[in-house]
Amino acid sequence: MAKISFKPGNMLYPLPVVMVSVADKQGNSNIITIAWAGTVCTNPPMVSIAVRSSRYSHHMLEQTGEFVINLTTKELAYATDYCGVQSGRDVDKWKETGLTPVDSEAVKAPGIAESPVNIECRIEKIEKLGSHDLFIAEVVAVHVDERYMDERGSFLLEQAQPIVYNHGAYYALGEKLGKFGYSVQKKS
């Protein structure tokens, strides 16, 4: 199989696509779609999001030091895209998408009621990197939709039909191929 040389760039795909909700000190809130989000640390639980300084939500992140990561689903794909292409400077994304803000437990930024998972975060560090600033945050609370809990207390996110972002397009996750460690699991 031949490969060609390609220009240097971010080719790490697919990525989780999330809606991040933020609020300023006056209580005005906004939603920004982020595909550059990820896990940073297990203990303490930490995540990161990368945001351009020109984005409307950037000043809210700097001002309050808080945000909520809201996982997205096939049902939320339209709202996810809308919140990524419209600016909170120009439109009320809550109103335009019909999404419902819900009070958070540990931060002032609201969560999104329709999201199966709300991850409340407090910023620990901001790294100014170039086109984007990296906000590294500790997870201070998590809320999950009880509809996706099984009788053993396990959370089944796959039932919510999460989506990913792949080079300019959104995709629903598909077939389960195996569980962690299946490659070395003893055959019965």
Q: 143: how many CB neighbours lie within 10 A of its CB?
A: 18
Q: How do the domains of the chain map onto residue ranges?
A: 15-172
SS (H, E, C) 30-69: EEEEECCEEEEECCCCEEEEEECCCCCCHHHHHHHCEEEE
**Distance (Å) of CA 133 to CA 50, 80, 157:** 5, 21, 29
Superfamily of domain 15-172: Electron Transport, Fmn-binding Protein; Chain A (2.30.110.10)
From residue 150, give the alpha-carbon distance in Å to each of 72, 104, 122, 144, 147.
Answer: 20, 24, 29, 12, 8
pLDDT of 9 over the 90 cut: no
Q: Model confidence over 110-166: pLDDT tens digits?
A: 999 999 999 999 999 999 999 999 999 999 999 999 999 999 999 999 999 999 999
pTM above 0.75, yes or no: yes
Q: Give 66-109 pLDDT, tens digit per residue.
A: 999 999 999 999 999 999 999 999 999 999 999 999 999 999 99
